Structure 1
Amino acid sequence: MKKIISLFSLVMVFLLGSCIEQNYPIWEGAVVEFQTAVTTAPVAGQTYPRVTVANNVQGGVVNLQVNLVARQRPSDETITYRVVPEGTTAVQGTDYNVTGSLVIPANSSTANLTVQIVNTGAIGGFVDLLLELEGNANIPASENYKRVQVRITRPNPPAAG
C-alpha cells in the first residue's frame, strides 16, 4: 500500500508540476541612466550621488558611464544632457568643459559622458557640477538615475612664509 501511495504521489508531482505555463511580463521600454547613480548612494538630503575628483585629475578628464536600458539600437543614438544650475557652483570654461550631448554607438549599451576638468591651480576649496540626462525623442532619462554631481576639489595654496 505504501508503494502505491508513493508511486501515485510521484506521478501527481510530475503531472501537476511540469505543465505550468509561466507568463512573465517583458518590459519593452527604453531609458538612459548614469551607472554611478545606480551603484552609488545619494548625497545626504539629495536624490543623486556625488563623484569627487581633483582639479588636476590625470588626463584632465572624468568619464561618467551612461547606460542604455533597452534593446541595443541598430544605429547611433545621440543623448542630450544639461548642467543643472541648482547644485552647480562650477563655471563652464573656468572649472570644466562639457558638450551637452554624447553618442551611444550602434549595437552598444553604454557610452561615456566626458567632463573636461580645468586645472585652476592651488586655490583651495571645491566647486560642484550637477549633470542631468535628458535623453532624446525616443529614449527618455530614467527618473531615478538621471543625475550625478561632480565635486571638483582644488588643493590649498602653499603657506605664506
Structure 2
Amino acid sequence: MKKILSIFSLVVVFVLGSCIEQNYPIWEGAEVEFQAAVVNAPVAGQNYPRLTVGNDVAGGVVNLQVNLVARQRPNDETITYRVVPEGTTAVAGTDFNVSGSLTIPANTSFGTLSVGIVNTGAVGGSVDLLLELEGNANIIPSENYKRVQLRITRPNPPAEEGEGS
C-alpha cells in the first residue's frame, strides 16, 4: 500500500508541476570581460588578478583574451581600454606598448588585447601595468572582470667579477 501511495504522489507532483508556466527573464545586456580576470584569483586587497610575465617574453607580446558576454554581433566591435595610472609603475614606450583598442570580430565572442613588452634587458626588479576595459557605446565593461594587471619582471644584471667574494 505504501508503494502505491508513493508512486501516486510522484505522479501527482509531475502532473501538477508540468502545468506551471515559467517565464524566466532573458538578459539582453552586453558586456566585455578579461578571461584572465574570470579564471584567476584577484590580488589580495584588489578586485583584479596579477599575471607575471618576463620582459623577454617570446615574440615580445602578451595576448589577453577579451570575452563578449552577449549575443554575437553581425559587425566587428571596437572595444576601448585604458592604462590605469593608479596600479601602473611601468612606463609606456619604455616597458610596454599598447594601442588603446581591440576588435571583437563579427560573429565571434572573443577578441585579443595585445600588449607589446619591451625587453629592457637585465636591469632587475619589476614594474606593473594595470589595464581596464572601457567598452563602447553598446557594450559596457563587466564590473567584476574589467581589470587585469601585468607584472613585468626584469632579470638581475650579471654580478661583476670580484663581487660576493
TM-score normalised by L of structure 2? 0.91
- Unaligned 5+ runs, structure 1: none
Partner in structure 1 of residue 85 of structure 2? 85
Letter in 1 for 2:137: A
Q: Distance in 2 between matches of 1:3 and 1:92?
A: 75
Matched, 1:73 2:73: yes
Deviation at 1:47, TM superposition (A): 1.1
Partner in structure 1 of residue 103 of structure 2? 103
Q: Distance in 2 between matches of 1:124 and 1:5?
A: 77
From the superposition, tell whether residues 56 and 16 of structure 1 become closer, same or farther in structure 2 (CA, over 3 Å). same
From the superposition, tell whether residues 159 and 25 of structure 1 become closer, same or farther in structure 2 (CA, over 3 Å). same
Letter in 2 for 1:140: I
* Pairing 1:1-161 to 2, within 5 Å after superposition: 8-9=8-9, 11-161=11-161
From the superposition, tell whether residues 31 and 4 of structure 1 become closer, same or farther in structure 2 (CA, over 3 Å). closer
Q: Distance in 1 between matches of 2:43 and 2:157?
A: 28
Q: Percent identity?
A: 81
> 1:13-63 CA deviation, whole Å, 9 max, x = no partner?
343132222222111101111011111111111111101000000111100
- Unaligned 5+ runs, structure 2: none
Q: SS state of the match for residue 143, structure 1?
A: coil
Aligned-residue Cα RMSD (Å) equals 1.8
Q: SS state of the match for residue 16, structure 1?
A: helix
> 1:66-117 CA deviation, whole Å, 9 max, x = no partner?
0000000000000000001111111111111000000000001001100000
Q: Distance in 1 between matches of 2:3 and 2:30?
A: 55
Q: Distance in 2 between matches of 1:15 and 1:124?
A: 71
Runs of 4+ in 1 over 2 A off after TM superposition: 1-15
